[in-house]
Chains A and B, each alone.
Chain A
Amino acid sequence: METVAVQPKTKLWTGGRSPFNVSYGKLMMWYFLMSDAFTFGAFLISYGTIRFSQNFWADPNHVFNAFPFAGHTNLPLAFVSIMTFILILSSVTMVLAVHAGHNMDRKGVEKYMVFTILGGLAFLSCQAWEWTHLITGDHQVLVNGAIQHWGTTTTHNPWGHEVMFNGTEVATPGPIAFGGYFFGITGFHGFHVFSGVVINSVMLIKTRLRHFEERGHYEMIEKAGLYWHFVDLVWVFVFLCFYLI
């Protein structure tokens, strides 16, 4: 490395080389991520416009307060915090995998890719539990003067205003856009995580088959890593928009 001559600045764009010193594959990945950012951006902005056109929106502390095996204990945002933590941890193991790749350490790459894949699967499992809980969980809702039992779906929202009914506090139907956007956007993100797990698994297999060792570099791991970090970053925004605001 120390002997690589520094190219004069003017030579970068004159052809015969990559001006950014990156392979076409990484360049494509960056542009793809930009494109994908627009897809998520469009979703989140749509969500924002609809949400803020409503007079009332469900309180996330109220909606997301369940925890597996904890019964009806009120634990606002505890479960989703653990999900987020898992996803961020999987990003850390991804960094370690890329780092091991730089050192041509095949065993290291394999180990950390396994952790990353496990992290992704754990996140997806958590999401599956959360969705199931929301859809099947049944809540009393006051509809046309009678109590009905609703789950949270794309067509029903049991998290509306609370009113007094026969001496107890009961919810009224909330804006139905809630379910559509929540399941739509977290689902689209989950689909990205799922694709990431598939990509990472292919990378793991290729690493085990020594494909990258023979090629002399682990750049594919880096590209998979770029995608994985992006998916992670998108989750931060999704988390912010649905759970914190």
Chain B
Amino acid sequence: MSNEAILHDQHFGTHDAPHAHEHHDHESFITKYVFSQDHKMISKQFLTTGIIWAIIGGLFSVIFRLQLGYPDSTFPWLQDLLGHWAKGGKLDPEFYYSLVTMHGTILVFFVLTAGLSGTFANFLIPLQIGARDMASPFLNMLSYWFFFTASMVMLSSLFVQTGPASGGWTIYPPLSALGEASEGSKIGMDLWLVSMALFIVSTLLGGLNYISTILNMRTKGMSMTRMPLTIWALFFTAILGVLSFPVLLSGAILLLFDRNLGTSFYLSDIVINGKILPNEGGSPILFQHLFWFLGHPEVYIIVLPAMGMVSEIMAINSRKPIFGYMAMVGSLFAITSLAFLVWAHHMFVSGLNPFLGSFFVLLTLLIAVPSAIKVFNWLTTLWRGNIRFTPGMLFAIGFVSMFISGGLTGIFLGNSALDIHLHDTYFIVAHFHIVMGVAGFFGMFAGLYHWFPKMYGRYMNNTLAYIHFWVTLIGAYLIFWPMHYEGLAGMPRRYYDFSSWESFKMFAGLNEFISFVSIIVFAAQLLFVVNFFYSIFKGRKVTTQNPWGATSLEWTTPIRPGHGNWLGEIPEVYRWPYDYGKDGRDFIPQTEPVGEHESKH
């Protein structure tokens, strides 16, 4: 049996339209909406689950901001909502830590990893490279259902008597390893670890699918350098995930053993409540290494897909080719490689050897180079473009703004000497919220507004979208900019109440202001949610196949593509996806053969 015959047995390329078309007619509700194997439906499942998580995670931040902004007030409705965690309308300190921990966990993993990559990798990869579906639709479905199970386990931890995990989203031992250490380190922590293990399986199944689809299933003519930058970004994201999440899995398994089997991987010489523990010889720093080996690539897992989508949306709406395509691909690659080599910059003050630290400083600061290349390329793409300020485009520009503001403070933090002062202060809260939190969300919103017509065959409401954009952009700066000052003044993160600290009393007004704005911004996000769900059913219908005048393949499918995406043959590709404003034409689709007298790009 030759290799060729096996390859021909696979459904790519040879799986022709008549089949692909037929079987979706007799799909039942269960196979179409629940256990769907269609990449587009799976993407919507990830998206919807992600939106629900984002509302929960966002609400948590509003609740703990109430405590930080109004430390002397009580909110009786909080007791109705949270019961014994907010007796008399005052947030319980233990539960405050749970809220902070769950806010981080939910937003980082469940929203900005699964919600972002899960949605757009599933939706865009087959559509933009010209494939009928993912390499393995079945594993793709499993990927969602592992994510769903992980979500259910994490959600259930919110309802246990002792509360969810409360050791911070980085769950450093020994706090997280010892049930006696805090309420949140009891069953809530076990549920957190189990949920994350399931989540890692989900990311792995998804990532393997994304990689093999992109490598193996590109349509004829779609060479790697003719792929839209979204696909490049999602490709590198998947590689990052496949190689870094397993290390977190190892770390989580060892932590579970320490918690439940009496091992001493991370524990040594501990006295708790006057009792000496028998654990000996372990190292909490070991956990930090294992955690940050994932934890750092994780921030790129969040921001790379956003970068890819922003590049794409920016070129389309500037009606100009993306500036420096190969430089964009190269810088994505550089960021991906460096992502694995900088994890210890999160550990400068952990007792890490300062000599070793200096290497991590160097490698960390090196990331500024590819990041700056990307920023300049986005700005030069905008330069003298014929810009259309669609909501997607506004969010893409907003992303660049956030990435610059948050990236610059990264240069401060990457220096191990400065980090001694700045670590674990509000400066770092401001830095990572702007550069990966808000920026990640901006990329996600840009993608949603832009591809919503392809997803649902309808448009979202523009007026609501513009309100959403401006409130979010201005609000995000109003929330996080002042935090830089607080952090420079040494105000530590994760504290429950600053009013008893003489040195931070002066920030009471600023904290109140931040809390006030965060409530408004949260409300603006609800506006988005309303717009999103309303538009799915009642939005203005899309009437043309290619509403944005884009070149890439997803806009050659029917307005509401069925399972299999294209009705006839999969189109062949003859050019890169950025032929905008070329030879006097507004745009030239990828499917158009290169003309005889066409100029070279």
Contact = CB atoms under 8 A, between A and B. Distances in A.
Interface of A: 1, 4, 13-25, 27-28, 31-32, 34-36, 38-39, 41-43, 46, 49-50, 53-54, 101-102, 104, 154-155, 175-177, 179-181, 184, 188, 215-219
A8 to B, nearest CB: 14
B61 interface: no
B246 A35 contact: yes
Given A23-B10, A28-B136, A46 B265 contact: yes
B81 interface: no
B9 A43 contact: no
A184 B4 contact: no
A154 B263 contact: yes
A49 B282 CA distance: 10
B293 interface: yes
B356 interface: no
B281 A54 contact: yes
Interface stretch (B50-58, B151-159, B253-261, B455-463): B253-261
Given A35-B243, A39-B247, A184-B265, 13 more contacts: A22-B3, A23-B10, A24-B216, A24-B217, A25-B136, A34-B243, A38-B244, A42-B250, A42-B290, A43-B250, A43-B254, A155-B263, A176-B279
A104 B221 contact: no
22 contacts: A14-B223, A16-B13, A16-B220, A16-B221, A17-B13, A22-B3, A24-B212, A27-B211, A28-B212, A31-B207, A32-B204, A32-B208, A39-B250, A54-B281, A154-B262, A176-B263, A177-B264, A180-B261, A180-B265, A184-B263, A188-B253, A217-B5
Contacts of A54: 281
A102 B135 CA distance: 24
The 3 closest A-B pairs by CB, nearest first: A16-B220, A180-B263, A24-B135
Contact of A14 (B5, B221, B257): B221
Nearest to A14: B223
A46 B223 contact: no
Interface in B72-117: none
A19 B211 CA distance: 13
Contacts of A23: 6-7, 9-10, 216
Interface string B123-146: 000000110000110010000000
B280 A176 contact: yes
Q: How large is the interface on B (under 10, 10 to 19, 20 to 34, 35 or more residues)?
A: 35 or more
Among A1, A19, A31, A216, max chain B CB count under 10 A is at A31
B257 A34 contact: no
A180 B263 CA distance: 5
A168 to B, nearest CB: 26
Nearest to B293: A42
Interface string B461-486: 00000000000000000000000000
B286 interface: yes
A176 B264 CA distance: 7
A102 B5 CA distance: 12
B281 A50 contact: yes
B1 A36 contact: no
A177 B5 CA distance: 52
B567 to A, nearest CB: 19
B326 interface: no
Contacts of B398: none
A15 B226 CA distance: 10
Given A28-B212, A35-B246, A50 B286 contact: yes
B224 interface: yes
Contacts of A4: 2, 4
B221 A15 contact: yes
Nearest to A219: B6
B213 interface: yes
A15 B280 contact: no
B2 to A, nearest CB: 6
A31 B263 contact: no
Nearest to A154: B263
A46 B7 CA distance: 41
Interface in B251-292: 251, 253-254, 257, 261-265, 278-283, 286, 290
Given A24-B216, A27-B211, A42-B246, A177 B223 contact: no
Contacts of B242: 31, 34-35
B216 A18 contact: yes
Contact of A31 (B212, B249, B290): B212
A31 B1 contact: no
Contact of B290 (A22, A32, A46, A177): A46
Interface string B197-234: 00000001001110111011111111110100000000
Nearest to B250: A42
A15 B223 contact: yes
A104 B218 contact: no
B342 interface: no
A36 B222 CA distance: 31
Contacts of B439: none
Contact of B9 (A179, A181, A184, A217): A217
B281 A18 contact: no
B224 A180 contact: no
A14 B224 CA distance: 7
A53 B285 CA distance: 12
Contacts of B12: 24
A176 to B, nearest CB: 5
Contacts of B306: none
A20 to B, nearest CB: 7
A28 B246 contact: no
Contact of A217 (B6, B282, B286): B6
A116 to B, nearest CB: 20
Contacts of B310: none
Contacts of B223: 13-15
B218 A15 contact: yes
Among B3, B129, B204, B224, max chain A CB count under 10 A is at B3
Among B218, B224, B245, max chain A CB count under 10 A is at B218
Nearest to A42: B250
